[in-house]
């Protein structure tokens, strides 16, 4: 079978027979792949032009698109598992790749709730730029008008694609995905389903199966490039003239020499010692050690080295190797014979300074398979007793089921050892001592993209050392590439242009579609609570009746709320304080404000959804008169959860409470859930 590329809305084959791709378990040819004859410049141009519909979608629409796609792919997951076994992955390995990748779609779909109901994002708060409030500044973020070019590694042919496209699609940017050729046959299967679903707009996704050729020579200033793989390849690509001359953002996530530290308190017999052993063995054997986050350096108090070596060896001894479809197999094969040869070459280099204490480089017997035809190898546990002087372990990575034990004397030594890797994706420490955890996390953080602290309290829910999460940053400094992927809202912003805007409050309101303080208000006589979601307008303002505050108001609220703070109830205790007399509760001011603007009759407002922020800016004393300006600040349409659900949206209101001198006493943003006029 010859893999096809999906370019410019069509499935097409490259010229010639292509390179053979092998089943890593049987050694048989699965498919061939080639990109010879493809016009990559035209593919990128097509992506930029066809990305307009995606850019025009709102964050809410894009998020719902991701959710629909995730559900669609989840229904078809078994067909991906069947193909994944050919890559050497066990069911558990494939679960990380397949359902972990789909999980990224779900997680990013949920992120839509952190954005407004626009195609762009208004970032942060406004900045006053003039004394009189007539000149302000803000920041908006709009989708880049290019394509996201993703060059991925062979170890996660599905997760590697989905964790990236989920983010750029939510940002409104189309993608060109170039998976590693050796396992691209699995990526192609899922891409066919994505295209067939019709859920994503035409042009939102293109696929290249085979060599990237001159793809990066054609990137332009609006494009974004991401790379996952070896640091040497990443540096070469990052140095391309097209990247440098066009200032193209280049995010690199490179394989690194990640470490895990056994805390001094985690001695044999403690839950933490057992957790450490389990985690180390899992990271050696899951995906046959082919994870960019896998533990390569095992750092152990020098008095516990023998205990750890024996315990890890005993668990590794029980690891059955073979055909992933055979019952009882715990570790499958590497992605191919070439990968296996490379791993063994790296182990041979490490052996010049370290000794193998478990496993060997000899061919292995594989359950349910011919070990001589598949890419099977034994897990390898090494030991380096002088890690500060024997430095190969900090520079050479065997990208397979290989890890090395390193002793340390003090926690400071352990931190120093982690840093010898010159930048890693992840470091973990297993400890039940809070001081140890704090010292390690703060000491190691500058050299790592992520730090996991594992103990008995979080063990059941922890996803482990090797599992980056979609809402947290994935990447690391130095050797790890210096990039960031995923990261929740932070990741989405990598695909958007942040632009400062300046002008009058009314102009900034018109641009952002979010009311800015000081902008013109459209005074209305009809209480806006009587309006349906579609009928409410940004900037429309209700000016309420006024109320003169009495001591009875304050005393009654103290009794109802139970808030008897001295400033509200004990006028004899005010000496030396900020207050001139009995002062009204801040929450009474907000409660009274609500009573002044809330509509008593049945209306389209379904409920009070909450308060985003509130500030009490001036004391309110008995005898003062307060009024309220209620202004529509922002509107966000919500989706219907099912056919029986009411169509509704969230309206954010700016509540300004002012006194008889027109000075602001309190300001808040409240949220109401409002019914739509049209269901």
Output DSSP code: residue 201: P
Residue with tokens 């969230």: 650
Which are the contacts of 131, defined by CB distance < 8 A and separation ≥ 6?
Answer: none
Write down the catalytic residue from 292, 426, 632, 665. 292
Q: Is 292 a catalytic residue?
A: yes
Name 223's Cβ contacts closer than 8 Å, sequence gap at least 6: 44, 48, 144, 146, 147, 148, 149, 246, 248
Residue 31: which H helix or E strand, with range? Answer: strand 29-33
The encoded tokens of residue 597 equal 């603007």
CA dihedral 164, 170, 171, 172 (to 10 degrees): 110
CA triple 132-138-144, angle to 5 deg: 160
The tokens of 587 are what? Answer: 């929450």
- How many whole angstroms separate alpha carbon 396 and alpha carbon 423? 13
Residue in the structure block whose two tokens are 């990066």? 216
Of all helices (H) and strands (E), which one includes residue 170?
helix 159-171
Mark whether 665 is an active-site residue.
no
| Whole-number Å distance between alpha carbons of 542 and 602 | 18
**Which value, to the nearest 10 degrees, does the dihedral of the CA atoms of residues 577, 580, 585, 588 take?**
-170
H or E element: which one contains 254? strand 250-254
Q: Which three-class secondary structure state does DSSP give residue 228?
A: strand
| 21: nearest Cα among 34, 9, 38, 8 | 34
Whether the Cβ atoms of residue 288 and residue 401 lie closer than 8 Å to each other: yes
Point out the catalytic residue in the list 253, 272, 397, 656.
253
Residue 262 to residues 10, 306, 419, 420, Cα–Cα distance (Å) = 53, 13, 16, 17
- Can you name the residues that pair with 448 across neighbouring β-strands? 424
Which residues have a catalytic role annotated? 253, 292
């Amino acid at each position: 079978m010859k893999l096809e590329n999906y370019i410019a809305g069509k499935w097409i084959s490259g010229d010639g027979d292509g390179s053979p791709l092998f089943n890593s378990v049987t050694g048989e040819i699965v498919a061939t792949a080639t990109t010879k004859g493809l016009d990559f410049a035209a593919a990128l141009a097509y992506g930029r032009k066809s990305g307009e519909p995606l850019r025009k979608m709102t964050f809410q629409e894009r998020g719902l698109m991701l959710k629909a796609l995730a559900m669609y792919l989840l229904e078809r997951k078994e067909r991906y598992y069947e193909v994944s076994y050919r890559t050497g992955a066990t069911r558990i390995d494939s679960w990380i790749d397949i359902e972990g990748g789909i999980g990224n779609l779900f997680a990013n779909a949920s992120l839509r709730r952190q954005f407004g109901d626009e195609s762009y994002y208004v970032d942060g708060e406004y900045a006053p730029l003039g004394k009189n409030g007539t000149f302000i500044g803000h920041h908006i973020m709009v989708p880049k008008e290019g394509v996201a070019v993703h060059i991925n590694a062979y170890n996660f042919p599905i997760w590697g694609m989905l964790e990236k496209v989920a983010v750029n699609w939510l940002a409104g940017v189309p993608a060109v995905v170039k998976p590693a050729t050796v396992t691209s046959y699995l990526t192609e299967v899922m891409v066919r389903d994505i295209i067939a679903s019709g859920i994503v707009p035409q042009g939102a996704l293109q696929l290249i199966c085979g060599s990237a050729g001159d793809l990066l020579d054609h990137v332009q200033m609006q494009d974004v490039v991401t790379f996952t793989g070896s640091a040497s390849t990443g540096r070469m690509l990052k140095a391309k003239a097209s990247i440098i001359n066009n200032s193209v953002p280049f995010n690199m996530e490179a394989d690194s020499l990640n470490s895990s530290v056994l805390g001094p308190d985690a001695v044999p017999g403690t839950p933490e010692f057992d957790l450490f052993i389990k985690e180390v063995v899992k990271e050696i054997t899951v995906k046959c050690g082919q994870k960019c986050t896998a533990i390569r350096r095992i750092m152990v108090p020098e008095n516990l080295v023998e205990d750890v070596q024996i315990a890890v060896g005993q668990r590794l001894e029980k690891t059955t190797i073979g055909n992933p479809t055979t019952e009882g197999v715990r570790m499958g094969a590497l992605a191919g014979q070439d990968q296996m040869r490379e791993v063994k070459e790296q182990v041979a280099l490490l052996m010049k300074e370290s000794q193998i204490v478990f496993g060997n480089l000899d061919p292995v017997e594989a359950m349910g398979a011919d070990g001589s035809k598949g890419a099977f190898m034994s897990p390898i546990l090494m030991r380096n007793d002088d890690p500060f002087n024997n430095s190969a372990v900090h520079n050479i990575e065997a990208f397979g089921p290989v890890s090395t034990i390193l002793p340390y004397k003090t926690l400071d030594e352990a931190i120093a050892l982690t840093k010898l890797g010159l930048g890693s994706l992840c470091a973990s420490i297993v400890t039940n001592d809070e001081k140890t955890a704090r010292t390690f996390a703060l000491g190691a953080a500058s050299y790592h993209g992520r730090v996991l602290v594992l103990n008995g309290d979080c063990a059941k829910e922890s996803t482990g050392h090797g599992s980056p999460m979609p809402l947290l940053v994935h990447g690391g400094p130095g050797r790890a590439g210096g990039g960031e992927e995923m990261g929740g809202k932070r990741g989405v912003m990598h695909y958007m242009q942040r632009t400062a805007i300046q002008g009058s409050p009314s102009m900034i309101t018109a641009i952002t579609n979010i009311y800015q303080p000081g902008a013109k208000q459209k005074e209305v006589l009809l209480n806006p609570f009587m309006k349906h979601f579609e009928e409410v307008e940004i900037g429309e303002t209700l000016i309420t009746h006024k109320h003169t505050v009495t001591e009875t108001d304050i005393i009654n609220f103290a009794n109802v709320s139970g808030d008897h703070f001295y400033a509200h109830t004990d006028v004899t205790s005010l000496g030396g304080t900020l207050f001139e007399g009995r002062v009204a509760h801040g929450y009474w001011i907000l409660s009274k404000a609500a009573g002044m603007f809330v509509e008593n009759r049945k209306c389209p407002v379904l409920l009070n959804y909450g308060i985003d922020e509130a500030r009490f800016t001036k004391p309110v004393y008995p005898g003062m008169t307060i009024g309220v300006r209620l202004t529509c600040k922002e509107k966000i349409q919500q989706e219907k959860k099912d056919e029986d659900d009411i169509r509704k949206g969230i309206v954010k209101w700016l509540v300004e409470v002012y006194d008889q001198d027109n000075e602001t006493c309190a300001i808040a943003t409240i949220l109401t859930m409002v019914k739509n006029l049209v269901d």
